Structure 1
């Protein structure tokens, strides 16, 4: 395999082969990238919702404890 690529011009190795790979595997790469980005977005939303819930519960608990002192 290495001998085949050494005989080819530079533009075939560095331009044509990657373009062909992107054309052939482009849909697969896009779907994997979309899945990973979607997963990261869902993880970010989950962390934000849990953080917001913790903030609201702590705020409510601190307000209810200060009211009982009165």
Structure 2
């Protein structure tokens, strides 16, 4: 790979090639990033819902056990 870019100007390596890569694979990169962000959001919502459910069940169980103590 270095032999290919050896005679080229610096802007070919550092400007043109990354721009071409972004144009060619930009949609794929955007899709992957969107999928990962969506997955993380769904995991966060899942954890919040499970945590809320555990909190409500513990509250209910502790309040029902304290009522039966009377």
Class of the TM-score when normalised by the shorter of the 2 chains: over 0.9
Give the alignment of 1:7-46 within 5 angstroms.
Answer: 7-46=7-46
Structure 1 residue 10 displacement after superposition: 1.2
Query: Runs of 4+ in structure 1 displaced over 6 angstroms?
Result: none
1:5-58: CA deviations, max 9, x gaps? 121111110111001100000000000111111000000000000000000000
> Matched residues in 1 for 2:11 and 2:59: separation?
63
**TM-score, with normalisation over the residues of structure 1?**
0.94
**Count of aligned positions:** 70
CA RMSD, 1 decimal: 0.8
> Matched residues in 1 for 2:66 and 2:9: separation?
78
Please, which runs of 5 or more residues in structure 2 have no aligned partner? none
Matched, 1:67 2:67: yes
**TM-score, with normalisation over the residues of structure 2?**
0.94
